[in-house]
């Protein structure tokens, strides 16, 4: 490494165009440049240490510096650094990885399709849905229902699917095949006095009306994160999936679970589908599949979809889709090592334990704070929505700015959180222990008190 540490911030500002960054904020504050990581901690180039309350971007589930994963990647890159799976070629380690993934699927699945990101995973699903309906003689079933506040990626189609208007403008996105329905955002959107269950029924009714309005014969699939992440950390209200899945089945609409964040243990079950007892037709996974050590996505295809594809194979010809890095051997090696560690270290049990403790401690520390409107989440996904007035739920006047101030106060105390507008979120590495949870809560409570 030859980077001039003293000038690194300036060099960054002059050379790196940052994703999802307001240039004015970057110019005002300068970047925070990370250098090393171990366990749940990362250290910046100036030696300041942080507890990473976000596992990078909801992905470093097994923590930083895991020798088991880097050794597997190192060995694989020496053995065979790259080959591909186009035109019937394959790679031994990718074959093994696909088999291991299928063993861990929440419901029987027939095939895995690999890519390099959550965005490309959801793009693959969209194409699969179109391909499947084309092959079974229903080519008009093309539309995809997604939800406001959802996040499905930032490629052109997946940005359209994402239910965050800030990601739609000013880009020329193909909104044609996308229809949005309401987010299951109980705290903000449920009418006064309505129970969670009633709100779920209300959303189901809205969904069915939308399907009838659009015409079920034009709709291919419904996409859902188990717990919404980037759109404000929104867990579904009680009975949500129970209410909506029968509607999808009745109208012959595929259910795609976007488990890019929730997969591989984040909720305390291996999959969000298991937490909410749903049987998806397609699952998108990424991030935790390699614990963030390698960019990789894995899309699961159910027998219902696969059988149509396979039985029409002769007529269908080539599936004209794929990425150079689909089934990358180093990614497959990282995934195999990660999957093994999730089992061997009993990660799910740790998530369940630490989740209960984290929510209890967070509620005890700031549950009564005048600016804390809602503490919500599931497993190790936690959201704290800040408000101006708890009683009326009035929003903060400059929510983005306040969220950012809390984020900065936390960073000054050595804690990384993420501000999604007025909701501060945590998704720490799944290996976090009790003492680290205490530290996370103490530092965060202090940061909230610093600002509000
Ligand atoms: N889907 C969900 C639920 C996500 O949270 C994300 C990213 O955070 C994506 C898809 C997109 O993944 P990527 O950023 O790897 O393209």
Residue 243, ligand 1, Cβ within 6 A: no
CA of 121 to the centre of ligand 1 (A): 9
Strand ranges of the sheet holding 372-378, from the earlier edge strand across to the other edge: 372-378, 381-386, 423-426, 418-420
Dist. CA 97–CA 15, nearest whole Å? 37
443 vs 416: CA distance, rounded Å: 10
What pLDDT, on the 0 to 100 scale, is given for residue 12? 97
- Nearest Cα to 347, choosing from 104, 95, 75? 104
Measured in angstroms, how far is the CA atom of residue 11 from the centroid of ligand 1? 28
State residue 316's pLDDT score: 85
Query: pLDDT (tens digit, 0 to 9) for every residue of the chain, 452 residues total?
Result: 899 999 999 999 999 999 999 999 999 999 999 999 999 999 999 999 999 999 999 999 999 999 999 999 999 999 999 999 999 999 999 999 999 999 999 999 999 999 999 999 999 999 999 999 999 999 999 999 999 999 999 999 999 999 999 999 999 899 989 999 999 999 999 999 999 999 999 999 999 999 999 999 999 999 999 999 999 999 999 999 999 999 999 999 999 999 999 999 999 999 999 999 999 999 999 999 999 999 999 999 999 999 999 999 898 888 999 999 999 999 999 999 999 999 999 999 999 999 999 999 999 999 999 999 999 999 999 999 999 999 999 999 888 889 999 999 999 999 999 999 899 999 999 999 999 999 999 999 999 999 99
> What is the rounded distance in angstroms from the CA atom of residue 280 to the CA atom of residue 251?
15
Rounded to 5 degrees, φ, ψ at 51 are: -85, 120
Cα–ligand 1 centroid distance for 285 (angstroms):
9
In this structure, the strands spanning 219-225 and 254-258 are parallel
Question: What whole-number distance in Å separates Cα of residue 152 and Cα of residue 297?
Answer: 13
What digits encode the pLDDT tens for the residues 241-289? 999 999 999 999 999 999 999 999 999 999 999 999 999 999 999 999 9
DSSP letters for 213-240: HH-GGGEEEEEEESSB-TTT-BPPPTTH
Whole-number Å distance, alpha carbon 118 to ligand 1 midpoint, is: 4
Residue ranges and CATH numbers for the domains of the chain are 32-62+346-451 (3.90.1150.10), 69-344 (3.40.640.10)
**Residues sharing a CB contact under 8 Å with residue 256, sequence separation 6 or more, in sequence order:** 122, 125, 129, 221, 222, 223, 224, 280, 281, 282, 283, 284
| CB distance 328 to 293 below 8 Å | no
Q: Any idea what the Cα angle at residue 111 is, between residues 108 and 116, rounded to 5°?
A: 120
Determine the residue of 118, 122, 262 to mutate for testing ligand 1's pocket, defined as the one with the most ligand atoms within 8 A of the Cβ atom: 118
Angle at CA of residue 332, ends 158 and 291, nearest 5°: 65
Task: Give the alpha-carbon dihedral of 317, 322, 328, 333, to 10 degrees.
Answer: -80
List pLDDT tens digits, range 146-166. Answer: 999 999 999 999 999 999 999
User: To which residue do tokens 């029968």 refer?
Assistant: 246
Closest ligand 1 atom, residue 262 Cα = 3
* Pocket of ligand 1 contains residue 225 by CB under 6 Å: yes
pLDDT in the model for residue 224: 98
Task: Mention every residue, 6+ apart, whose C-beta is less than 8 A from residue 103.
Answer: none
What sign results for the dihedral spanned by CA atoms 262, 267, 270, 273?
negative
Nearest alpha carbon to residue 281 among 399, 147, 149, 144: 144
Cα separation, 293 vs 271, whole angstroms: 20
pLDDT (0 to 100) of residue 400: 83
Regarding the beta carbon of 263 and ligand 1, being less than 6 Å apart is answered: no
Mutate to test the pocket of ligand 1, among 261, 282, 420 (most ligand atoms within 8 A of CB): 261
Nearest to 57, CA basis, from 19, 29, 28:
19
- Does ligand 1 come within 6 angstroms of the Cβ of 151? yes
Q: Please choose, from the candidates 330, 339, 379, 388, the residue with its C-alpha nearest in 3D space to the C-alpha of residue 359.
A: 379
Nearest Cα residue to 144 out of 180, 90, 182 = 180
Q: How far is the CA of 266 from the centre of ligand 1 (A)?
A: 14
């Amino acid at each position: 490494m030859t980077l001039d540490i003293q000038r690194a911030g300036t060099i960054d500002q002059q050379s790196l165009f940052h994703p999802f960054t307001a240039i004015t904020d970057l110019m005002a504050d300068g970047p925070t440049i990370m250098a090393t990581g171990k366990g749940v901690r990362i250290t910046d180039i100036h030696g300041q240490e942080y507890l990473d309350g976000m596992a990078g971007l909801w992905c470093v589930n097994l923590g930083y510096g895991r020798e088991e994963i880097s050794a597997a990647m190192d060995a694989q890159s020496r053995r065979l650094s790259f080959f591909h799976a186009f035109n019937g070629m394959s790679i031994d380690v990718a074959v093994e990885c696909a088999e291991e993934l299928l063993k861990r699927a929440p419901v029987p699945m027939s095939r895995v399709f690999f890519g390099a990101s959550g965005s490309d995973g959801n793009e693959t699903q969209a194409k699969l849905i179109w391909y499947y309906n084309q092959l079974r003689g229903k080519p008009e079933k093309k539309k995809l229902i997604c939800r406001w506040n959802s996040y499905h990626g930032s490629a052109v189609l997946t940005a359209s699917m994402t239910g965050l208007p800030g990601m739609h403008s000013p880009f020329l996105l193909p909104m044609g095949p996308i229809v949005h329905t309401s987010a299951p955002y109980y705290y903000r959107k449920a009418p006064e006095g309505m129970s969670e269950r009633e709100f779920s029924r209300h959303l189901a009714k809205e969904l069915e009306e939308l399907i009838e309005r659009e015409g079920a014969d034009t709709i291919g699939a419904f996409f859902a994160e188990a717990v919404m992440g980037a759109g404000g950390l929104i867990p579904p209200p009680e009975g949500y999936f129970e209410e909506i899945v029968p509607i999808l089945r009745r109208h012959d609409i595929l259910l795609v679970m976007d488990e890019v964040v929730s997969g591989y243990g984040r909720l305390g079950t291996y999959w969000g589908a298991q937490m909410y007892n749903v049987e998806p037709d397609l699952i998108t996974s990424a991030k935790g599949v390699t614990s963030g050590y390698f960019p990789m996505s894995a899309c699961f295809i159910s027998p219902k979809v696969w059988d149509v594809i396979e039985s029409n194979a002769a007529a269908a010809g080539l599936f004209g889709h794929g990425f150079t890095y689909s089934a990358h051997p180093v990614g497959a090696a990282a995934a195999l090592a990660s999957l093994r560690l999730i089992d061997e270290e009993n990660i799910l049990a740790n998530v369940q334990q630490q989740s209960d403790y984290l929510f209890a401690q967070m509620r005890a520390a700031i549950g009564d704070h005048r600016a804390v409107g809602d503490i919500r989440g599931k497993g190790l996904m936690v959201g704290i929505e800040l408000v101006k007035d708890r009683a009326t739920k009035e929003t903060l006047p400059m929510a983005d700015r306040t969220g950012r101030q809390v984020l900065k106060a936390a960073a000054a105390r050595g804690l990384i959180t993420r501000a999604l507008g007025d909701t501060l979120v945590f998704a720490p590495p799944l290996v976090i222990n009790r003492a680290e949870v205490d530290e996370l809560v103490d530092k965060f409570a202090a940061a909230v008190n610093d600002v509000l």
